[in-house]
């Protein structure tokens, strides 16, 4: 079994750096077509560079789709430059604002769309804050995550309907958050083969190898749960359990000045590991939003939250617009030669999935899929059958083949299930365009329900609907 690609250095789990350039054996049997939806996304340049770095590829077509014409034109020119610089003369790039014009014949669809985020991100954060719901990121769970889902999922499902008609055999690789609700809505309504891709498993597994001071390639591990809340239930080196060492470090860090990494003390993940028995995939700031324990009072935030991704209040809303502007500036710098584009292949899963399928060379990833997709029953047996889970998946000529994990330890399953109840109703609200289901979703949200009463939750939800009504057509 091939492992996920190795990486020499890393920082925080949400900030991936490049890996060594690796390759699977064999060669492609055909040229391929990849359609990038939301091509103005920061993912696009690196993902395309990864694909053309695959050994034995036979080229093909990259179709860029974005409703922002300026970003589309810039990305088109950048990808052309990338092809020229890499000598990728077997590849061509096309672009369109209308996905229907380019989807036909796609072998892979990479989804990175953003729906009205810039106009709504302030509402997503500030209205809940007035009700006492303090968010760090707020784009996958909680009020911010729910309303991003309510805006995005209706568009996403239209995309999948078009794909069913124009390229029914394509594999859809989803990078757009909120990951769980996006994949859940797809699994309940579409016949397309969809897998949700995140890099928190890769990032965290490397973090743990560094903290345990063991070579990554020698570490044995298993990980399963839901996106951003998957558990490393097995963590060994040469047969030795690594958790006693990690827990000893965590107790020291939580009882005094944090040891390492200095920039991200990661106190929430360490605290959860001590109390629940395993380390979790998402960064402490984001993870704290999935739980009722860490953000509901000022004293708890002061104790466990640190700057930036480590738990800073309103971190995402205060920085995302600037990040977007910086990304546009960086693209222009790349285009005009002021910033290099000679990246080695990264650990993002997209190119590895494409390579494994085209070469029929089995390769393991961790993907977000429906729990009922197992060939021999549920993938995680003590989580809801109609939910979305994150488990190891083997990729080969047949596409994405989820593997059965079995039962999570009950306390870990219960934490996942508490989130899945919220995701269940959030996806229902988006599919049916139901304000009532949206209200119920936030009534079940772990952080929101720890802070607000039921009347407050209803009032907050309706206030968000009113503030964002321009971007939420058809909700009743």
Is 12 assigned a catalytic role? Answer: no
Nearest by Cα to 390 from 190, 148, 174: 174
C-beta separation of 353 from 174 below 8 A: no
Nearest by Cα to 73 from 47, 103, 42, 95: 95
φ, ψ of residue 33 in degrees (nearest 5): -125, 130
For the packed helices 142-166 and 117-130, what is the interaxial angle rounded to 10 degrees? Answer: 150
Give CA–CA dist 92/109, Å, rounded: 16
Give CA–CA dist 86/109, Å, rounded: 23
Give CA–CA dist 469/150, Å, rounded: 11
Give CA–CA dist 97/37, Å, rounded: 10
Tokens of 111: 């989804």
Nearest by Cα to 27 from 264, 356, 348, 330: 356
Which of these is catalytic: 199, 228, 271, 440? 199
C-beta separation of 153 from 434 below 8 A: no
C-beta separation of 399 from 419 below 8 A: no
Give CA–CA dist 437/145, Å, rounded: 15
Do strands 363-370 and 279-280 pair parallel, antiparallel, or not at all (unpaired)?
unpaired
Nearest by Cα to 148 from 134, 158, 157, 138: 138
C-beta separation of 63 from 96 below 8 A: yes
List, by residue number, the catalytic residues: 199
């Amino acid at each position: 079994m091939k492992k996920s690609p190795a990486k020499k250095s890393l920082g925080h789990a949400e900030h991936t750096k490049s890996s060594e350039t690796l390759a699977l054996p064999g060669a492609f049997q055909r040229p391929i077509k990849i359609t990038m939806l939301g091509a103005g996304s920061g993912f696009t340049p690196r993902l395309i560079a990864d694909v053309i770095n695959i050994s034995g590829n036979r080229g093909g077509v990259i179709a860029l789709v974005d409703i922002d014409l300026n970003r589309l034109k810039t990305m088109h020119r950048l990808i052309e430059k990338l092809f020229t610089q890499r000598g990728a003369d077997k590849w061509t790039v096309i672009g369109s604002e209308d996905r229907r014009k380019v989807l036909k014949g796609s072998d892979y669809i990479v989804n990175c769309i953003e729906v009205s985020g810039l106009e709504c991100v302030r509402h997503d954060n500030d209205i809940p804050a007035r009700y006492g719901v303090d968010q760090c990121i707020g784009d996958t769970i909680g009020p911010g995550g729910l309303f991003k889902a309510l805006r995005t999922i209706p568009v996403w499902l239209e995309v999948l309907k078009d794909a069913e008609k124009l390229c029914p055999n394509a594999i859809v690789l989803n990078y757009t958050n909120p990951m769980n609700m996006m994949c859940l809505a797809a699994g309940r309504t579409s016949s397309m083969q969809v897998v949700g891709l995140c890099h928190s498993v890769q990032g965290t597994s490397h973090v743990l190898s560094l903290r345990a001071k063991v070579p990554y390639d020698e570490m044995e591990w298993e990980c399963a749960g839901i996106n951003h809340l998957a558990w490393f239930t097995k963590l060994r080196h040469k047969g030795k359990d690594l958790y006693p060492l990690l827990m000893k470090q965590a107790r020291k860090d939580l009882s005094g000045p944090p040891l390492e990494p200095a920039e991200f003390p990661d106190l929430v993940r360490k605290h959860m590991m001590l109390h629940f028995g395993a380390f979790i995939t998402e960064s402490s700031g984001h993870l704290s939003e999935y739980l009722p324990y860490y953000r509901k009072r000022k004293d708890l935030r002061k104790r466990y939250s640190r700057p930036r991704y480590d738990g800073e209040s309103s971190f995402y809303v205060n920085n995302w617009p600037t990040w977007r502007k910086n990304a546009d500036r960086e693209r222009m710098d790349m285009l005009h030669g002021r910033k290099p584009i000679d990246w080695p292949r990264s650990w993002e899963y997209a190119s590895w999935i494409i390579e494994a399928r085209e070469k029929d060379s089995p390769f393991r990833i961790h993907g977000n899929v429906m729990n009922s997709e197992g060939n021999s029953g549920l993938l995680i047996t003590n989580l809801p059958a109609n939910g979305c889970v994150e488990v190891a998946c083997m990729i080969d000529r047949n596409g994405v083949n989820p593997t059965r994990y079995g039962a999570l330890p009950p306390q870990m399953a219960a934490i996942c299930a508490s989130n899945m109840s919220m995701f269940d109703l959030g996806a229902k609200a988006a599919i049916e365009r139901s304000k009532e289901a949206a209200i119920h979703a936030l009534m079940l949200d772990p952080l929101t329900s720890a802070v607000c009463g039921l009347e407050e939750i209803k009032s907050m939800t309706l206030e968000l609907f009113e503030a964002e009504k321009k971007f939420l057509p058809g909700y009743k």
